[in-house]
Amino acid sequence: MSLRLSGKRVTLGVSGSIAAYKAVLLARLLLGEGAQVQPVLTRSAEQFVGRATFSGLTGRPAFTQMWDADHGGERHVELARDSDLIIIAPTTADLLARLAGGRADDLLTATALASRCPLLLAPAMHPSMWEHPATQANVATLERHGRARLLGPRHGVVASGDEGFGRMLEPEELLEAVIASLSPQDLAGVRLLVTAGPTVEDLDPVRFVGNRSSGKMGFAIARRAVERGAQVTLLAGPVRLATPLGVERIDVRSALEMERALLERADRADAVVMSAAVADYRPAELAPQKLKRQAESQALQLVANPDLLAGLGARRHGARPVLVGFAVETGDDQSMVQLARGKLQRKRCDLVVVNHASESLGRDDNRVALVDAAAHRWLPAMSKAELADVLLTELGSWLARTA
């Protein structure tokens, strides 16, 4: 399994907020993606989480002091030079003020001032502190300088029990922001529309007809596309997955709802990736009340849903948007490729990703074949995050050919 931050050097700054405990979780996530993590703490951060925690987790000393008699160089300059990215999580109101003023009165601010790499700030403070005009002026200064990117804060309950804007983003969200900042921006400016998950067709107010699609593949594609610079809209069927940072998400339920959402947006997209498992049929009638059991068996009349991918293919004039379809099949590899090629021709799409039902639904990994009009190739089993990257690289090639 490839790690998205393999070999990347990340300096993790921590300042004095109760949210500092989340920085420990962030460090673990960064390490899990292959990053080398160097902790740098302010003196007030040590009141919340000790240096030993970060040192034990990262295998590196957690620095706090600008001056060290045992160190001959300029530590802040070396840290700045050796960092591929600096993220400060949490970033307090005081630290925002010092960064906005160009202060370098401790190791963390001096390192940030000396750096030329991406600088990410994750504010965390009481809502009244965040809303204060002085804090907002400091935020505006940092944004005007263009050196730092602010992540959050978000609206929620803070440590005091009060509610408002001031809650730090979760470590998982911060990890995605780090990955995005260090990812190649080869899809910058591409407008991508992705469908994900199942659609469900209601029988009555209680029951529905559906399928077992988890939506994980579509969400992985949306996440990696944003990280690689694309503008992504995600049409999601009923799934319990977190919205990837930077993705516009539109929730739909039925095939007809997804069709309406697609038709409203497809003409503005450069590419459409149809990874959703759209129901082929829906009940002929929707009962207004719960259907009661009346016999040992009961026939259910179904009518066909529109074929969304075929509809997009028929509407398309020219080579845009590039259309990518998915097919979940059963059978051997050869028959699956034949079925995928038939789907490619019937639905007038550019690429079909075919996978076996037993090797895809609900899993975190996948084995697929990429099938176009000229050829096909089977990919080895890989995580859905890795597969998303392969598909997006393939999509980038199609976009370059149709530019």
Catalytic center residues: 211
Question: How far apart, in whole angstroms, are the C-alpha atoms of residue 100 and residue 113?
Answer: 10
Rg, C-alpha atoms of the chain:
25
Alpha helices in 169-307 (DSSP H): 171-182, 216-227, 255-265
Question: How far apart, in whole angstroms, are the C-alpha atoms of residue 288 and residue 103?
Answer: 66
Which neighbouring-strand residues pair with 325?
A: 274, 352
- Reference 42, options 27, 70, 20; nearest CA is 20
Dihedral sign of CA atoms 344, 349, 355, 358 in order: negative
- The residues, any chain, with a CB within 8 Å of residue 111's CB and separated by 6 or more, are 11, 13, 40, 76, 79, 80, 83, 86
Question: How far apart, in whole angstroms, are the C-alpha atoms of residue 141 and residue 126?
Answer: 20
What six digits make up the tokens of 326?
A: 């998915």
Residue with tokens 């995580």, as numbered in its chain? 383
Q: Return the half-sphere exposure (C-beta side, CA atoms, 13 A cut-off) of residue 360.
A: 25
Measured CA distances, 389 to 251, 325, 400, 401 (Å): 24, 16, 16, 19
Q: Residues for the chain: how many in total?
A: 403
